[in-house]
Amino acid sequence: MPFDRATLEAAIEAFGGGKQPDNQVEGLLAKLHVLEAAGRYGQLLNALANANDESNFRSLVLEATFAYQFEASGMALDYEVKQVPDQPSSIDFRLSATSGDSVFFEVRLLQQDRETADEVAAQLKANKQYAVVKDGRAEADDIIRLQSTILAKVQKPDGTPIKFLQAGPGFVNIVVVAISDILLGTADTYDCVLATYGDSEVPEPCRRGMFGVFQDVKDADPPDFQAAAARFAHLKGNIYGVLFLFRPRGAGVLDYQLEMFIVWNRGLVSQESVTALEGQIARALPAAG
């Protein structure tokens, strides 16, 4: 059965969503029709039609938008793939790069933490505006949550690997995280670098006492940095980059264009070795402004 407007509106209504602007519904629907015509996204479209809550629905819209931007740029993606037959869970997307590499993308939408979201919602209900302010500690907590999200896409809490079980020649493993909703919508590229390479690589006003997921640990580093390095070790040895997605400010919640900022793992790749790949990805995902 074709994915039509009634199907999309029923999915929105199912989790309590209200009527959406016509241009937003039609814009998303046009993208879904492109995926439907490609014939490789039946599982994604079925999940979207049967989304059981708002968070799940928004995550699936993100995946659909990500896939559409590649397909519309002439780059076909495979959906829900495994690197090895006995892999515990599949990886969202695979791109066959012009270099001959298989590029694997695992995508996650990171939303505002529940406490802040509830506070914003309460203020909006009362005043139609909000005045939530995050201090440096709260901002650090959001970066830690971002790092935990990246890590959770690779391994269980006990460190057992769950995805990206192959690395080396021919494989490029990338965790993709959409971060426009965190830090009260103020996340920027410095936050991306802070999460991946820590305090030393961002200007002093942006520092939050952070150890990055790709950062090299030193013998003189404090115990919490040593512990973080141990926790990130598998990720650091298998993930080639983290691709951060942004939704342009003022964009709708259904129909939007994703922009990107990618941070490469210098322990696994050099900037020169991934320049062509980054250029290929940029055809689908323009650089964040």
pTM: 0.90
| Statement to judge: residues 67 and 80 lie in one domain | no
Among 28, 56, 72, give the residue marking a domain's end.
72
Contact indicator for 242, 270 with CB cutoff of 8 Å: no
The Cα–Cα gap between 212 and 242 comes to: 12
The whole-angstrom distance between residue 279's C-alpha and the CA centroid of its chain comes to 19
pLDDT given at position 133: 43
| Statement to judge: residues 87 and 218 lie in one domain | yes
Report yes or no on 121 lying in a domain: yes
Model confidence at 115, pLDDT cuts 50, 70, 90, reads low
Domain that holds residue 227: 76-284
Model confidence at 18, pLDDT cuts 50, 70, 90, reads confident
| Statement to judge: residues 81 and 107 lie in one domain | yes
Share of the chain above pLDDT 90, in %: 76
| Contacts for 276-281: CB closer than 8 Å, 24+ residues apart | 276/98, 276/99, 277/97, 277/99, 277/101, 277/103, 277/172, 280/75, 280/97, 280/98, 281/103, 281/243
How many domains would you assign to the chain?
2
Q: What is the pLDDT of residues 248-262, one digit of tens each?
A: 988 989 999 999 999
pLDDT given at position 249: 86
Report yes or no on 289 lying in a domain: no
Structure letter (DSSP) for residue 159: S
| Statement to judge: residues 224 and 157 lie in one domain | yes
Among 43, 72, 101, give the residue marking a domain's end.
72
* Residues 57-74 as b or e (16 or more Cβ within 10 Å = b): bbbbbbbbbbbbbbbeee
Question: Lowest mean pLDDT: which of 6-15, 113-122, 130-139?
Answer: 113-122
Model confidence at 24, pLDDT cuts 50, 70, 90, reads very high
| Statement to judge: residues 7 and 140 lie in one domain | no
pLDDT given at position 119: 42
pLDDT given at position 140: 85
| Statement to judge: residues 51 and 139 lie in one domain | no
Q: What is the pLDDT of residues 219-251, one digit of tens each?
A: 999 999 999 999 999 999 999 999 999 999 889
User: Which residues are CB-contacts of 196 (< 8 A; sequence separation ≥ 6)?
Assistant: 212, 213, 214, 215, 242, 263, 265
The Cα–Cα gap between 41 and 63 comes to: 10
| Statement to judge: residues 143 and 270 lie in one domain | yes
Report yes or no on 166 lying in a domain: yes
| Statement to judge: residues 121 and 235 lie in one domain | yes
Q: What is the pLDDT of residues 181-192, one digit of tens each?
A: 987 678 899 999
